[in-house]
């Protein structure tokens, strides 16, 4: 979690203070030590000037996913990792020098189709039709987002995991890369399927509750609020409805209809089950029906 203003940037008189905050992709590249990591290629700085970059790495051969290859045997599909420093774009005075958040994304990148529309199998840099078919029939890697899962500490010049474990830049990239590759394994894919099913079920339940809230109670949620933010009590608004005054009490047609339906359902259950008498009331010589 970001703790704005906990420590001022000028608190530490250290050599790395001049690098706080990181303002360019080259500075972020140096923090990760990419020049010493030979498994990564095609460093590209973000064009919007923000301190972020993308790099690529070939998929290993020991996972179920089979990457398509060109005629020369070079892989056409690689994993692309994108890294952004301070994704919320907070000013320096609101950043914690010990724990600046990072956004990291990893996904599948197809070199040829990224630059071309369709496939021309006569070109040397185009993947072969046979390798494309083999790749299509193999388990596909799942794109992953790591938002505020990793942090950079300017005090130590190291990276931190969400559980405060210190890591090097190489270890951060390796962790992200391995988790992405593991999504092709059956054990992980079962886990993701279970999560997806629970998410689908929860989404349907939420929609059903919204309908109940609107139809039975004539209330709705504030539609201007982002769907990624929790609803607050004040976000529930009352819909306009025709009101009635019964025995001095003001109510709506929807509430009257709701109670009538509940009573009808209760009576139907008792009638169909044969419970037309309530035994616990028999001792008083009374029956409800």
- The model's pLDDT over 198-246, given as tens digits with 9 standing for 90+, comes to 888 888 887 787 777 766 666 666 655 555 556 666 666 656 555 666 6
Q: In a 3-state reduction of DSSP, which class is residue 213?
A: helix
Which residues of the chain have a pLDDT value below 70? 1-18, 214-254, 274-289
The pair phi, psi for residue 167, each rounded to 5°, is: -140, 155
DSSP state of 75: B
DSSP state of 135: H
Angle CA 171–176–182, to nearest 5: 120
- Dig out the tokens for 18 from the structure: 């001049």
- Say if residues 174 and 185 touch (Cβ distance below 8 Å): no
At residue 101, the pLDDT reads 93
By C-alpha distance, which of 138, 136, 167 is closest to 153?
A: 167
Predicted TM-score (pTM) of the model is 0.64
At residue 249, the pLDDT reads 66
By C-alpha distance, which of 30, 25, 38, 40 is closest to 83?
A: 25
> To the nearest 10°, the Cα dihedral for 145, 146, 152, 157?
-80
At residue 15, the pLDDT reads 44
At residue 93, the pLDDT reads 82
By C-alpha distance, which of 37, 78, 35, 81 is closest to 55?
A: 81
Largest CA-CA distance found in the chain, in angstroms, rounded: 95
- Say if residues 104 and 176 touch (Cβ distance below 8 Å): yes
* Helix axes of 25-32 and 169-182: crossing angle, nearest 10 degrees: 90
- Bridge-based pairing of strands 41-45 and 243-246 is unpaired
């Amino acid at each position: 979690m970001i703790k704005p203003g906990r420590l001022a940037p000028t608190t530490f008189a250290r050599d790395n203070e001049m690098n706080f905050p990181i303002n360019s992709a080259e500075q972020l590249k140096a923090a990760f030590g990419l020049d010493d990591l030979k498994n990564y290629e095609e460093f590209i700085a973000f064009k919007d000037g923000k301190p972020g970059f993308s790099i690529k790495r070939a998929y290993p051969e020991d996972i179920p996913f089979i990457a398509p290859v060109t005629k020369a045997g070079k892989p056409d599909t690689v994993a692309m990792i994108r890294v952004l420093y301070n994704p919320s774009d907070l000013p320096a005075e609101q950043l914690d020098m010990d724990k600046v958040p990072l956004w990291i994304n990893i996904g599948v990148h197809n070199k040829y189709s990224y630059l071309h529309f369709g496939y021309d199998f006569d070109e040397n840099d185009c993947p072969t039709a046979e390798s494309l078919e083999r790749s299509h029939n193999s388990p596909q890697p799942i794109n992953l987002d790591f938002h505020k899962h990793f942090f950079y500490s300017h005090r130590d010049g190291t990276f931190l995991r969400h559980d405060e474990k210190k890591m090097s830049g190489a270890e951060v990239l390796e962790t992200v890369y391995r988790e992405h590759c593991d999504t092709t394994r059956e054990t992980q894919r079962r886990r993701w399927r279970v999560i997806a099913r629970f998410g689908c079920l929860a989404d349907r339940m939420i929609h059903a509750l919204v309908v109940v809230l609107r139809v039975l109670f004539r209330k709705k949620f504030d539609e201007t609020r982002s769907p990624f933010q929790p609803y607050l009590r004040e976000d529930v608004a009352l819909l306009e409805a025709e009101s009635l005054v019964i025995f001095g009490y003001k109510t709506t047609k929807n509430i009257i209809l709701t109670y009538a339906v509940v009573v009808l359902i209760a009576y139907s259950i008792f009638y169909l089950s044969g419970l037309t008498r309530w035994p616990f009331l028999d001792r008083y010589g009374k029956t409800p029906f």
